Structure 1
Amino acid sequence: MGFDTEYFWSLWPAIFQGSLMTLAAAAAGSVGAILVGIILALGRRSGRLSKIICAGFTEAIRLSPFLVQLYFLYYVLPVWGLTLDAVTVGILTLSIHFGAFLGEVFGAGIDAVPRGQVEAARALGLRNRQISFLIVLPQMLRFVAAPTANYMISLLKTTPYLAVVGVPEMLGVAFDKASDSFRYVEPLTAAGILFLVYSTIIGQAARYVERKIRPL
């Protein structure tokens, strides 16, 4: 069975439409992951109780599979009276899972900021919250841009797992088309090309940002 070029091109409207859901879930998941990562990084550098809670949460998430977390939120939360739609569950799982890893990255970036600047800010009378958001976090960006981009690419490539709870993302659409026609090469090739294109764009954007914020 050869490669059917005509069929391949006929697939693009449906698969591209599915890719919009993939991009939306990845974008929302990335924003959520960054917020979770910042909270965990700051929490592990706050009081003792906060440090214990954030450290335990981080290890539990990092050491458990993404698919288990996805199934847990989708099937177990309704037992406790909290029912969320598939897209929301997918975004929430992406945010929590990759946020745990980004918490470690952001923590290392925070530790890389010279302590003298924090002490100088305290001497000027700034509060801890002001020091975190005005002094530490802006400087942290230059240290974490590249590894954060790598995790964003990984997050994008993790979105196909969302199909198992019914999210109509790109790879799920490709498999639906393959099941209808019993031809897998063309749909999976189209999905693979789009994943490669989107990942390349993210990588290039990250390199641009990294060059702009690189210290002199």
Structure 2
Amino acid sequence: MGFDWGYFLSLWPDIFRGSLMTLFAAGLGSVGAVLVGLGLALGRRSGRVGFLLCAGFTEVIRLSPFLVQLYFLYFVLPVWGIVISATTVGVLALALHFGAFLGEVFGAGIDAVPRGQVEAAQALGLRRMQIARLVVLPQTLRLVAAPTANYMISLLKTTPYLAVVGVPEMLGVAFDKASDSFRYVEPLTAAGLLFLAYSIVIGGAVRLVERKVRPL
């Protein structure tokens, strides 16, 4: 069975619409992951209780498969009366999973800020939250911008897992088309090319960010 170019071209409108859901989930998931990661990094440095809670959560998430976390949120939470949409579950799973990894990245960035600068801010009379907001976080974000952006590429490439809970993302649409026509090469090729295109664009943005924020 040869490659059907006509069928391949006819797939692009639907595959592209699916890719918009992929970008939507990846975008919101990335924002959520940054917030979760930052919260974990700060929480681990807020005291013994905060450290234990954040460290425990991080280890559970980092050491368990993403698919298990996704299934847990989608199938187990309703047992406890928490029912949320498949798209929301997908975004939440991405945010929690990658947020756990970014927590380690942000933590390393915080620890890399020279202690002398914190002591100087304390000498000026700045309060703890002011020091974090005005001194530590701006330098931390500069240090972790490049590795954070690389995690965003990984997050994008993880979005196909969302199809297993019914999120109409790009690969899910491709498989629906394949099951209708019993032709898998053309739909999967179209989805693969779009993933490659998006990854190339994001990769270029990552390199631009690396050049702009590289510490002197």
Q: Could you tell me the TM-score, scaled by structure 2's length?
A: 0.98
How much has 1:84 moved relative to structure 2?
0.4
> How many residues of Structure 1 are paired with residues of Structure 2 in the alignment?
216
The corresponding residue for 1:139 is 139
User: For the Cα contact (< 8 Å) 1:28–1:91, is it kept in 2?
Assistant: yes
Q: How does 1:8-19 map to 2 (within 5 A)?
A: 8-19=8-19
The corresponding residue for 1:38 is 38
Question: Gaps spanning 5+ residues in structure 2: where?
Answer: none
Q: How does 1:165-180 map to 2 (within 5 A)?
A: 165-180=165-180
Residues 116-156 of structure 1 show CA distances to partners (whole Å, capped at 9, x for unaligned) of: 11111111111111111211111112221221122111110
How much has 1:69 moved relative to structure 2?
0.6
Give the alignment's Cα RMSD to 1 decimal.
Answer: 0.9
The corresponding residue for 1:66 is 66
The alignment partner of 2:168 has SS state of: coil
Pair 1:119-2:119 in alignment: yes
User: For the Cα contact (< 8 Å) 2:146–2:209, is it kept in 1?
Assistant: no
Question: Gaps spanning 5+ residues in structure 1: where?
Answer: none
Pair 1:213-2:209 in alignment: no
Pair 1:160-2:157 in alignment: no
The alignment partner of 1:11 has SS state of: helix
For the residues of structure 2 that align with 1:194 and 1:115, how far apart are their CA atoms? Answer: 45
How much has 1:192 moved relative to structure 2?
0.5
> Larger deviation: 145-154 or 61-70?
145-154
**Counterpart residue identity of residue 166, structure 1:** G
Residues 156-182 of structure 1 show CA distances to partners (whole Å, capped at 9, x for unaligned) of: 011111111110000000000111111
**Counterpart residue identity of residue 8, structure 1:** F
For the residues of structure 2 that align with 1:125 and 1:196, how far apart are their CA atoms? Answer: 51
User: For the Cα contact (< 8 Å) 1:142–1:210, is it kept in 2?
Assistant: no
The corresponding residue for 2:47 is 47
**Counterpart residue identity of residue 87, structure 1:** T
For the residues of structure 1 that align with 2:102 and 2:155, how far apart are their CA atoms? Answer: 11
For the residues of structure 2 that align with 1:23 and 1:6, how far apart are their CA atoms? Answer: 26
**Counterpart residue identity of residue 55, structure 2:** A
User: For the Cα contact (< 8 Å) 2:16–2:170, is it kept in 1?
Assistant: yes
User: For the Cα contact (< 8 Å) 2:3–2:186, is it kept in 1?
Assistant: yes
**Counterpart residue identity of residue 56, structure 2:** G
How much has 1:201 moved relative to structure 2?
1.3
**Counterpart residue identity of residue 197, structure 1:** A
The corresponding residue for 1:81 is 81
For the residues of structure 1 that align with 2:119 and 2:8, how far apart are their CA atoms? Answer: 61
For the residues of structure 1 that align with 2:138 and 2:84, how far apart are their CA atoms? Answer: 34
The corresponding residue for 2:129 is 129
How much has 1:6 moved relative to structure 2?
1.2
**Counterpart residue identity of residue 6, structure 1:** G
How much has 1:215 moved relative to structure 2?
2.5
